[in-house]
């Protein structure tokens, strides 16, 4: 039986999970691949740190150069994260003739074109199933299982931290700060949760997935982004009242020959399949011309789910399948055949508008008139009866629109928000179909 | 660019879809695979039948021998269905050096071992993504995406016809016969729906999936089967009252080192992900030791979804990936390493019991006493107040148990059903976790 030698860069959350699966499932992996995996090097920053796994003597090192240039090593598994030094290490590993498997969405979203170029030039592959939606085999589903389809849209809950926080807010009726603290206590949010709650993590994953699904070049700047950190608690309450939950949705959709992309808090009907995805789970809905709607759901992060996808990639390389895929699909081609990305990411949608108004006769009529003038029709309204106390203060007026052009909505909002009866900038959220 | 020549056996629902994708997506498929597909032969029974697609002159034929022995043909696509002549045609095609792609669950579930043996001996592959859950790429997910996992259970809604009928019964409150008629009118059930509603179709798919997921030999006889054709409307009403829906669930689970399998109408909590799968949709929940729960949802049948999976297999062969998978995974190995199949398919479960009882004091106590004596504890009970009219007639008593051993439940039922107060055989259904 062949032995495949690995260099593991990083032995943190995911690295430890990978080492554990390789050890505990050794027999199973041999029967799946016809090969044996041996960890030759494990590279870390601090070799004195206690580790959650026992390693063979002499394989733990800080000497990354030695690991990636070791002629015995077949595959470098990059689980350090971030841009530097990951970008450089991946490129050098490929040039040294190693295949690379990585869970690093940040470096692929930003430098994918460069790194896939190096891989192609070196005749080596980059496996990245773990970089998107942790344990869900969505990269393979999109690149292979649905390959006969022209994909028209993707919509995903791609950030487990945000989804955990939103679920807690909806189900326990708590505010954002309390929900974030709970997520941190339970290990679903990091000490610095910025990249998760501001939508950047979901944006990176969306960029990678859209690249595969639409075969378009997707510059990160082309993706409109809003995180859950800007969300007001009151909008979750109104969403609930209307039969919706708010989810951080990452959406890519072909609109009139262009690819529109965004990440934003979105109202999803409570009985919509994506409205049922709770806590740290991720899910992706993919719509193809032949297949219609398909949905993939699972844990999007965590030690073992993510490691499961890393090891699936190792098996793919061991079997030789990854090499065939890479050769033929020309992933991250220089000039991909897909639709160009739209400038402003706008797509026709239903919208949720929360006005802060002075409650006086004729207010709704004036606002509705302006919306109507821009071709935006109203599907439903919530305006609660005001009490004595409210007189003179701003009260909320919720409007759900029918499908409207995003540009028209933005223009209309500029007009309505200039009215004297509108007391604060109007909150505008997308509503999922 | 290479050209790959196909012989299509069958131009019915799925065959027409395949021919359509090959024509309409030719450019897209070329960019996905680096190869061009050309249909060399289309074999049908009746060449004079009008077809939903135009074919090149001279390729429609009834001469199947000529098609499968044509040295130019690279892949035979078997879309005839059934056992005979499909079994023989697949074997002969493989021996003639052709790869085979098929959507035929019946022949694989029954003669998989023989046919995969021929494929291995001939150095050719059998692609069968379309044979299970139509458009959902579940075969690849289980065999590749989750390959790092030890899978502990599978639970799926694998028959779109049954699911359509059950959805209609629940949502419209109509009876079985009316729902079946509606499904037939809308094309979701065939004129003879037997194999769908009696659970055999789901059973065949479960056998194939379990073979992959557990690497066990799964004789069809080892799978316990009950269809929706035996279901009483009243059980759907009680299920609803309890917050459940009834789904035809196909389940395979490792229980104490053995693989237990069954297909049966099962109560699924209304807010369980599988309880939300409506109409003709299929879904499969796969639980792995590393990944936890994952769910795959999509259309399980129909022209284009099924054709999408057939064409995905064609791409896999064109790319060379299918060959690598086949070589290493030793699908349908003679002596698979997975757990042996249990004799009686019984697994610990919660149960729904509907008694028909004579309504008299102490009845519930007597029944509960017998259940308790077998270690079965009661989670909830429904017994409606009886009216004057009911006196002397049988009234329903619904008992939901906590998790219990299936053997104990069967023994207890034999005892309770022998009581004079029990007026008809008790209905016993599984309840999903
Ligand atoms: N955690 C998840 O749930 C998850 C899910 C999906 C994808 N990912 C991705 O997986 C990757 C790894 O994430 P993680 O959560 O496992 O990170 P982590 O727990 O922070 O582990 C990082 C590891 O890299 C090592 N390291 C950092 N800088 C290094 C350097 N310059 N040279 C050598 N070693 C260095 C660290 O060494 P020390 O141990 O000595 O500090 C540590 O072992 C990231 O790209 C992340 O985005 C993670
Ligand atoms: N329909 C679905 O949604 C679906 C979904 C998943 C899997 N499948 C599977 O796909 C396969 C095909 O199903 P289908 O619905 O497409 O069937 P279908 O519509 O009944 O078509 C069968 C085709 O096979 C041809 N045929 C039958 N016997 C033949 C013979 N002895 N020699 C040559 N040709 C023969 C028929 O020829 P004529 O046209 O001349 O009668 C017809 O074109 C089956 O295995 C089925 O289980 C179907």
Give tens-digit pLDDT for A132-183: 998 899 999 999 999 999 999 999 999 999 999 999 999 999 999 999 999 9
Q: How confident is the model at residue A227 (pLDDT cuts 50, 70, 90)?
A: very high
For range A267-284, the mean pLDDT: 95
Judged against a pLDDT cut of 70, whether residue A58 lies above it is answered with: yes
Task: Assign domain A2-127 one CATH number from 1.10.1740.10, 3.40.50.1970, 3.40.50.1860, 3.40.50.720.
Answer: 3.40.50.720
Q: What is the ipTM of this complex?
A: 0.93
The DSSP output letter for A340 is P
Q: pLDDT of A60-78, one tens digit each?
A: 999 999 999 999 999 999 9
Asked whether the predicted pLDDT for residue A25 surpasses 80, the reply is: yes
Take atom 12 of ligand 2 and give the residue whose Cα is closest: B79
State the DSSP string of B204-256: HHHHHHHHHHH-----GGGSEE--GGG--HHHHHHHHHTTEEEEEEEEEEEET
Helix (H) / strand (E) element for A304: namely helix A303-319
B341: closest CA of chain A, how far (Å): 19
Find chain A residues with C-beta within 8 A of B289's C-beta. Answer: 304
- On the question of pLDDT at B191 being above 70, the answer is yes
Give the ligand with the smallest distance to the CA of A77: 1
Q: What is the mean pLDDT of residues B159-164?
A: 97
Mean predicted confidence (pLDDT) in B372-382: 96
Query: What pLDDT shows up at residue B345?
Result: 75
- Which two three-digit tokens encode residue B398? 């619904």
Give me the pLDDT at residue A393, please: 79
Q: Which residues pair with B369 in a beta bridge?
A: none
pLDDT of B329 above 70: yes
The SS3 of residue A343 is coil
User: For the residues of B93-154, what is the DSSP string, one character each?
Assistant: HHHTT-EEEE--HHHHHHHHHHHHHHHHHHT--EE-GGGSSTTS-HHHIIIIITTTSPEEEE
Dist. CA B249–CA B192, nearest whole Å: 21
pLDDT higher than 90, residue A11 = yes
What is the DSSP code string of B374-409? TT--EEEEE-PPPPGGGTTSEEEEEEEE-SB-HHHH
Residues of A in Cβ contact (< 8 Å) with B140: 137, 140-141, 144-145
Q: Which residues of A touch B157 (CB under 8 A)?
A: none
Does B12 belong to an annotated binding site? yes
pLDDT at A107: 97
Q: Single out the catalytic residue among B49, B98, B110, B205.
A: B205
Query: Looking at residue B18, what is its pLDDT?
Result: 98
Give the mean pLDDT of chain A: 94
Rounded to an integer, the average pLDDT of B144-165 is 96
Residue A346 has pLDDT above 90, yes or no: no
Contacts of A296 in chain B (CB under 8 A): 294-297
For residue B191, give every residue at least 6 positions away whose Cβ sits within 8 Å of its Cβ, in sequence order, or none: B184
A424 vs A332 pLDDT, higher one: A424
Compute the C-alpha angle A387/A388/A393, nearest 5°: 85
* Its pTM surpasses 0.90: yes
H or E segment to which residue A252 belongs: strand A244-255
Does A11 appear as a known binding residue? yes
What span, in angstroms and rounded, lies between the C-alpha atoms of B270 and B422?
30
Domain residue ranges in chain A: 2-127, 140-301, 348-431
Which DSSP helix (H) or strand (E) runs through A204? Answer: helix A200-214
d(CA A345, CA A154): 14
More confident residue, B315 or A385: B315
A 206-265 near B (Cβ less than 8 A): 215
What is the residue-wise DSSP string for A21-39? HHHHTHHHHHHHHSEEEEE
Asked if B185 contacts B191 with a C-beta cutoff of 8 angstroms, the reply is no
DSSP-derived secondary structure letter, A336 = -
Query: Half-sphere exposure (CA, 13 Å, Cβ side) for A175?
Result: 5
pLDDT band at A35 (very low <50, low <70, confident <90, very high): very high
Q: Which of residues 345-374 of A touch B (CB under 8 A)?
A: none
Give me the pLDDT at residue B388, please.
73
* Any A CB within 8 A of B292 CB: yes
Beta carbon of A155 within 6 Å of any ligand 1 atom? no
> Is the CB of A299 inside 8 Å of chain B's CB atoms?
yes
Cβ pair B132, B157 in contact under 8 A: no
Whether B389 has a pLDDT exceeding 80, the answer reads no
Please give the average per-residue pLDDT across A216-237, as a whole number.
95
Flag whether pLDDT at B310 surpasses 90. yes
Indicate whether A3 pLDDT > 80. yes
Q: Is A54 flagged in the annotation as binding?
A: no
Looking at A175-184, A190-199, B322-331, which range is the least confident one?
A: B322-331
CB–CB contact A305 B315 (8 Å): no
Q: What is the pLDDT of residues B227-280, one digit of tens each?
A: 999 999 999 999 999 999 999 999 999 999 999 999 999 999 998 999 999 999
Assign A361 a pLDDT band (cuts: 50, 70, 90).
confident
- Architecture in CATH of B140-301: 2-Layer Sandwich (3.30)
- Across the interface, whether the CB atoms of B140 and A145 are under 8 A apart is answered yes
Predicted local confidence at residue A390, as pLDDT: 67
| B146 touching chain A per CB within 8 A | yes
CA dist., res. B90 & res. B94, Å (int):
6
* Confidence band, pLDDT 50/70/90 cuts, at residue B343: confident
Residue B140 pLDDT greater than 90, yes or no: yes
Is pLDDT above 90 for A387? no
User: How many CB atoms sit inside 10 A of residue A425's CB?
Assistant: 10
Q: State yes or no: pLDDT of A405 exceeds 70.
A: yes
Q: Which conformational region is residue B345 in: left (phi greater than 0), alpha (psi within -120 to 50 degrees), or beta?
A: left
How many Cα atoms within 13 Å fall on the side-chain side of residue A176? 14
Q: What three-state secondary structure class fits B268? A: strand
Cα-Cα end-to-end distance for chain A: 52
Structure confidence at residue A360 (pLDDT): 84
Beta-carbon contacts of residue A26 (< 8 Å; ≥ 6 apart): A36, A37
Is the pLDDT confidence value at A359 over 90? no
Contact yes or no for B144 and A25 at CB 8 A: no
Closest C-alpha to A310, from B145, B271, B386: B145
Kindly report, residue by residue over B17-58, the tens digit of the pLDDT: 999 999 999 999 998 898 999 999 999 999 999 998 999 999
| Contact residues, chain B, for A289 at CB < 8 Å | 304
How far is Cα A329 from Cα A325, in angstroms, rounded to an integer? 6
CA atoms within 13 A on the CB side of A41: 23
Q: Was B15 annotated as part of a binding site?
A: yes
**Three-state secondary structure of A60-124:** EECCHHHHHHCCCCCEEEECCCCCCCHHHHHHHHHHCCCEEEECCHHHHHHHHHHHHHHHHHHCC
> Chains A and B: how many Cβ contacts under 8 Å?
192
Angle at A284 between CA A283 and CA A288, to 5 degrees: 155
Question: Would you state the pLDDT for residue B390?
Answer: 67
The answer to whether residues B103 and B284 touch, using CB atoms and an 8 Å cutoff, is: no
**Residue range A216-226, pLDDT digits in tens:** 999 999 999 99
Residues A311-329: tens digit of each pLDDT: 999 999 999 999 998 888 7
Counting ligands in written order, which one lies closest to the CA of residue A158? Answer: 1
Chain B stretch 68-127, residues whose beta carbon is closer than 8 A to a beta carbon of chain A: none
Residue B52: CB atoms within 10 A of its CB come to: 13
* CATH, range A348-431: 3.30.70.260
Best B214, B291, B297 residue to mutate vs chain A (most A CBs within 10 Å): B291
Start-to-end Cα distance in chain B: 52
Q: Quick check: A312 and B32 CB within 8 A?
A: no
- pLDDT tens digits, A86-136: 999 999 999 999 999 999 999 999 999 999 999 999 999 999 999 999 889
For chain B, give the mean pLDDT: 94
Q: What would the mean pLDDT of B294-313 be, rounded to a whole number?
A: 96
Angle between helices B303-319 and B26-33 (to 10 degrees): 40
Task: Mark whether A205 is an active-site residue.
Answer: yes
3-state secondary structure (DSSP) of residue B171: helix
Average pLDDT over residues B361-372: 94
């Amino acid at each position: 039986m062949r032995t495949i030698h690995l260099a593991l860069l990083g032995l943190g959350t995911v690295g430890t999970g990978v080492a554990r699966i390789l050890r505990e499932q050794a027999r199973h992996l041999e029967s799946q691949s016809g090969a044996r995996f041996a960890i030759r090097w494990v590279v870390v920053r601090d070799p004195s740190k206690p580790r959650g796994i026992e390693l063979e003597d002499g394989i733990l090192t800080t000497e990354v150069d030695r690991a990636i240039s070791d002629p015995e090593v077949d595959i470098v598994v990059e689980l350090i994260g971030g841009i530097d030094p990951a970008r450089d290490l991946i490129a050098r590993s490929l040039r040294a003739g190693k295949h690379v498997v990585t869970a690093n969405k940040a470096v692929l979203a930003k430098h994918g074109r460069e790194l896939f170029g190096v891989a192609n030039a070196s005749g080596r592959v980059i496996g990245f199933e773990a970089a998107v939606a942790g344990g869900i085999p969505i990269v393979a589903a999109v690149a292979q299982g649905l390959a006969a389809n022209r994909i028209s849209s993707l919509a995903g809950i791609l950030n487990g931290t945000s989804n955990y926080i939103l679920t807690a807010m909806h189900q326990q009726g708590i505010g954002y700060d309390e929900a974030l603290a709970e997520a941190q206590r339970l290990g679903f949010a990091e000490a610095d949760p910025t990249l998760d709650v501001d939508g950047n993590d979901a944006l990176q994953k969306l960029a990678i997935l859209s690249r595969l699904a639409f075969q378009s070049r997707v510059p990160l700047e082309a993706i409109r982004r809003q995180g859950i950190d800007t969300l007001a608690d009151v909008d979750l309450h109104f969403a609930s009242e209307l039969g919706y939950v708010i989810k951080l949705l990452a959406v890519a959709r072909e609109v009139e020959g262009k690819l529109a992309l965004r990440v934003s808090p979105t109202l999803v009907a409570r009985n919509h399949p994506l409205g049922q995805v709770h806590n740290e789970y991720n899910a992706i809905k993919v719509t193809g011309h032949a297949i219609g709607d398909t949905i993939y759901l699972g844990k999007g992060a965590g030690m073992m789910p993510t490691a499961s996808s890393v090891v699936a990639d190792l098996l793919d390389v061991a079997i030789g399948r990854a090499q065939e895929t890479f050769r033929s699909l020309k992933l991250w081609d220089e000039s991909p055949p897909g639709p160009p990305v739209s400038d402003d990411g706008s797509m026709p949608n239903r919208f949720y508008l929360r006005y802060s108004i002075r409650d006086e006769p004729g207010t709704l009529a004036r606002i509705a008139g302006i919306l109507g003038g821009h071709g935006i029709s109203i599907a439903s309204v919530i305006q609660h009866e005001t009490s004595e106390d409210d007189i003179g203060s701003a009260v909320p007026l919720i409007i759900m629109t029918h499908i409207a052009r995003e540009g028209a909505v933005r223009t209309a909002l500029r007009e309505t928000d200039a009215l004297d009866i509108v007391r604060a900038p109007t909150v505008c959220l997308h509503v999922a179909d």
